Amino acid sequence: MTDDRRPPLKIEALEKHYGPVPVLRGLGFEVAPGERVALLGHNGAGKSTLIKLVLGLIRPSGGHIRVAGHAPGSAPARIATAYLPEQVAFHKALTGREQLTTFARLAGEAPSAVMPLLERVGLAHAADRRIGAYSKGMRQRLGLAQALLGRRRVALLDEPTSGLDPLSRHDLYAVIDEMSANGTAVLIASHALTEVEARTDRIAIMRDGALVADDTLPRLSRQAALPIRIRLTAAEGAADQLHAELGGQRVNGSAVELLCPADQKMAHLDRISALGETVRDVEMVPPSLEDLYRYFCGEDRQ
């Protein structure tokens, strides 16, 4: 019972070196129950290393990890952790039901939990087919089913949507939402920025083994102070006048694009509305996660 009051995942000053090469440098963050956190970063930023450390598959060179208050790799920590590897693989010779039953027995769950889970991920019809005959999407669903076994406090999902069709992606995020509603802390390592933008509560960005951003999307936007893009469509033949009046950049024949800091948005809108008939349409684009990602990864050279 005391477990439930401890944070599902707590990481402090985590260090990992491979020989003299640092892979993680003083990483620290927490994930609260039910929180969905996107873990972003380039290949080689240390995301997979971080996940392996949380799973207890490798040992840190320094710092602490606590999974529901337990050391990673310990039996209670493993019981509390669900994991979906990027390239999820199973024994080809086993059927989906047999493989999931094995996992259920390892997790201390009753085998009767298996069929409902297969139904939940849409694999009931293939339960008694060998995994060797499964498609990539079906294997991923089976991987998700095993991550749903038991009452997990933390779920670590490594590129969960890679190679999935749009419908399967939608199903996957529905399952993730369900996990989060049940109080499971979900950590999603991903490159699919537009997906996680809409589907997570918090964004953590890693760069060269350190955390360079860790907050909600609106707060990261404010912190980065990236400009809002305002796109104006001019009335017939008025584009030049608009450009002269407001500055910015001409885009094709009839549009003007402005970049304005977030806190000057209203002032700009005032000026635009004062122009009256000259402006036919206004479109505002806040900085996307992709812009933020570029910014925090130090690749925004504009």
Partner 1 sequence: MIGRILAIAAAEFRIQRRNRWVVMATAMMTLFALALTFAGSAPTGALGVDLLTVAVASMTTLAVYLAPFMALMIGFDAIAGEGERGTLGLVLTYPLSRGEMLMGKFVAHLGVLAIAMVVGLGAGGVVAALTGGAGPDSVAALARLIATAILLGASFLALGYAASALAGSAAGAAGAAVGLWLVFVVLYDLGLLGAVVFDGGGVFTKSVFPWLLALNPADAFRLWNVAGTDQVALVSGMAGAGQTLPAWAAPASLIAWPVLAFALARLAFQRVEP
Question: What residues make contact with partner 1 under the rule CB under 8 A?
Answer: 52, 55-58, 75, 78-79, 81, 83, 85, 87-91, 93-94, 98-99, 102-103, 105-108, 130, 143, 146
Q: Please answer whether residues 134 and 126 qualify as being in contact, where contact means their C-beta atoms are separated by less than 8 angstroms.
A: yes
Instruction: Write down the least CB distance from residue 22 to partner 1, Å.
Output: 18
Instruction: Write down the least CB distance from residue 200 to partner 1, Å.
Output: 22
Q: Which CB, 93 or 274, lies closer to partner 1? A: 93
Q: Which CB, 54 or 232, lies closer to partner 1? A: 54
Instruction: Write down the least CB distance from residue 138 to partner 1, Å.
Output: 16
Dig out the tokens for 85 from the structure.
């590897």
Using CA atoms, how far apart are residues 76 and 68, in angstroms rounded to an integer?
Answer: 8
Instruction: Write down the least CB distance from residue 11 to partner 1, Å.
Output: 17
Select from 50, 55, 1, 19 the least CA-distant residue to 208.
50
Put the strands of the sheet holding 202-207 in their side by side order: 81-84, 154-158, 185-189, 36-40, 202-207, 210-215
Dig out the tokens for 129 from the structure.
């087919």
Q: Which CB, 13 or 18, lies closer to partner 1? A: 18
Side-chain-side CA neighbours of residue 183 (13 Å): 12
Q: Which CB, 102 or 278, lies closer to partner 1? A: 102
Q: Which CB, 48 or 241, lies closer to partner 1? A: 48
Q: Which CB, 64 or 92, lies closer to partner 1? A: 92
Please report, as a single letter, which amino acid is at residue 77: A
Angle subtended at Cα 57 by Cα 54 and Cα 60, rounded to the nearest 5 degrees: 60
Strand residues in the chain grouped as ranges (E): 9-18, 21-31, 36-40, 62-67, 81-84, 154-158, 185-189, 202-207, 210-215, 228-234, 249-251, 255-260, 279-285
Instruction: Write down the least CB distance from residue 78 to partner 1, Å.
Output: 4
Instruction: Write down the least CB distance from residue 55 to partner 1, Å.
Output: 5
